[in-house]
């Protein structure tokens, strides 16, 4: 009798871990991360159906994306792992939550909301899932629903993530002192030095910035750097503080240090402004093009792959304004608006693009929606004042601009200059 030998198709290898470089490769955290991930990969080689290890590996890669900024690689790797888990276990609550998180990170907000709602049905007592629901509703402009979800999250499990979401909702609704109070609670609820804690401390610093309190903002960024040396977002915060003091050379230095550490288009975008202010037009143009290139690559991937790829049209709209490509700016602002017409930030973007194109009536229409939550963001208020002034509401517009320029040391110098020019012409 002839023996029949069945060969099992080999499982696809799990996506690999990239080596970190520079300051991110220093210290025990990276050694511990590598050891943990190598252990999970070994588990999967020995037991290809070990979906618990596969899920933990996906979570580790999601955190690695946050730390390194390499979202294109690690988010795709994590999604691949999660899809395998969910194919075998469609009702795996943790995998659904992780996939929802990835969708929100990639700005696929409607998909993220649907997944979070699916997870909520499986486990209505999880604080984490209410955080996802809060984030999704905020980004889609469902602010009343977001408040309900954040309240539920704090009832279930008040912690760093819950307090941070309360802070953001208070900020959106114009309560900056309340936002600072909640974000301070979030920082105190975390473990010093962990990425999540220092991210929250940087967010607290930013709230101090927009309230006009540069010393406290600077203190937050310095503390974050003491706890987590070379932390890119704290470096960027110090860059903004330096820029507010018109020390553009120092600001450029901080942003370049941040950009070396983490891949984030925002650093190139901010550098374009700083180089322009520091009378380095060639470098400014180079950084503006670099920012557009990074965003365009992400947008192209999103267009080609519905499940992955970062929707970056709002960011692209602002980037094209900086290169004076107004038609492209409008195209991308409209694409983002079609996705989430109720979001105040998206309406602000479309209003500002119309303003820059001289379409002041259209600008006012979208700015009214952008201000519906009573946000006190100084950039929003200054833009609103400029748009009002162009629509025959000079007194109201001037008063708003004057309020912002008097109380806010940190404001885009170009926007501040436009405000000062309008006031001087009264």
Mean pLDDT (the chain) is 92
| DSSP per-residue codes, 240-298 | HHHHHTT-HHHHHHHHHHHHHHS--HHHHHHHHHHHHHTT-HHHHHHHHHHHHHHHHHH
SS3 category, 425? coil
> pTM above the 0.75 mark?
yes
Mean pLDDT of 248-255: 97
Sign for the CA dihedral angle at 139, 143, 147, 149 comes to: negative
Q: Is 235:254 a contact under the CB 8 Å cutoff?
A: yes
Say yes or no to pLDDT of 58 above 90. Answer: yes
Q: What is the pLDDT of residue 7?
A: 38
- Between 7 and 161, residue with greater pLDDT: 161
List of residues 6+ apart from 42 with CB closer than 8 A: none
Phi, psi of 144 (to 5 degrees): -65, -40
The predicted structure's pLDDT at residue 8: 40
Query: Mean pLDDT lowest for which of 21-35, 118-132, 234-248?
Result: 21-35
Q: For residue range 290-313, what is the model confidence (pLDDT) as tens digits?
A: 888 888 776 666 555 555 567 889
Please say whether the beta carbons of 187 and 199 come within 8 A. Answer: no
What are the tens digits of pLDDT across the range 410-424?
788 889 999 999 999
Q: Tell me the C-alpha distance between 408 and 376, whole Å.
A: 11
Q: Which pLDDT band, with edges at 50, 70 and 90, does 388 fall under?
A: very high
For the stretch 142-171, pLDDT in tens is 999 999 999 999 999 999 999 999 999 999
Q: Which long-range contacts (CB under 8 A, 24 or more apart) does 24-28 make?
A: 24/67, 24/68, 24/230, 24/261, 24/262, 26/229, 27/229
Q: How many residues does the chain have?
A: 426
What is the per-residue pLDDT for 293? 87
Question: CB under 8 Å to 207, separation ≥6 — which residues?
Answer: 167, 171, 176, 179, 180, 183
Report which of 324, 294, 291, 323 is spatially closest to residue 310, judged by C-alpha positions: 294
168-180: average pLDDT = 97
pLDDT at 303: 56
């Amino acid at each position: 009798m002839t023996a029949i030998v069945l060969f099992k198709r080999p499982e696809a290898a799990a996506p690999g871990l990239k080596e970190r470089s520079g300051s991110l490769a220093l210290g025990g955290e990276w050694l511990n991360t590598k050891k943990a991930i190598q252990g999970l990969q070994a588990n999967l080689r020995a037991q290809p159906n070990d979906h618990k290890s596969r899920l933990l590996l996906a979570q580790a890669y999601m955190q690695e994306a946050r730390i390194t900024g390499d979202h294109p690689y690690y988010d795709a790797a994590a999604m691949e792992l999660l899809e395998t888990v969910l194919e075998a276990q469609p009702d795996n609550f943790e995998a659904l939550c992780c996939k929802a998180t990835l969708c929100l990170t990639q700005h696929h907000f409607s998909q993220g909301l649907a997944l979070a709602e699916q997870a909520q049905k499986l486990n209505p007592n999880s604080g984490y899932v209410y955080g996802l629901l809060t984030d999704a509703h905020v980004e889609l402009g469902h602010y009343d629903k977001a408040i309900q979800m954040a309240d539920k999250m704090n009832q279930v499990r008040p912690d760093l993530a819950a307090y941070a979401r309360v802070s953001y909702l208070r900020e959106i609704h114009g309560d900056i002192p309340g936002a600072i109070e909640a974000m301070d609670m979030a920082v105190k609820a975390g473990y010093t030095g962990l990425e999540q804690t220092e991210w929250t401390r940087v967010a607290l610093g930013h709230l101090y910035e927009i309230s006009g309190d540069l010393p406290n903002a600077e203190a937050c960024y310095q503390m974050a750097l003491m706890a987590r040396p070379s932390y890119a977002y704290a470096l960027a915060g110090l860059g903004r503080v330096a820029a507010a003091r018109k020390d553009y050379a120092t600001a450029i230095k901080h942003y370049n240090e941040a950009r070396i550490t983490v891949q984030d288009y925002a650093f190139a975008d901010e550098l374009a402004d700083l180089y322009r202010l520091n009378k380095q037009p060639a470098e400014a143009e180079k950084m503006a093009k670099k920012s557009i290139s990074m965003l365009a690559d992400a947008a192209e991937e999103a267009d080609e792959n519905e499940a992955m790829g970062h929707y970056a049209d709002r960011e692209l709209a602002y980037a094209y304004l900086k290169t004076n490509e107004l038609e492209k700016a409008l195209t991308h602002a409209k694409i983002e608006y079609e996705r989430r017409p109720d979001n105040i930030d998206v309406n602000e973007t479309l209003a500002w693009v119309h303003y820059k194109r001289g379409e002041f009536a259209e600008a006012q229409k979208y700015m009214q929606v952008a201000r519906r939550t009573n946000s006190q963001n100084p950039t929003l208020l200054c833009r609103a004042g400029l748009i009002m002034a162009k629509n025959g509401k000079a007194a109201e517009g001037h008063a708003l601009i004057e309020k912002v320029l008097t109380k806010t040391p940190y404001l885009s110098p170009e926007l501040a200059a436009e405000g000062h020019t309008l006031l001087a012409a009264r």
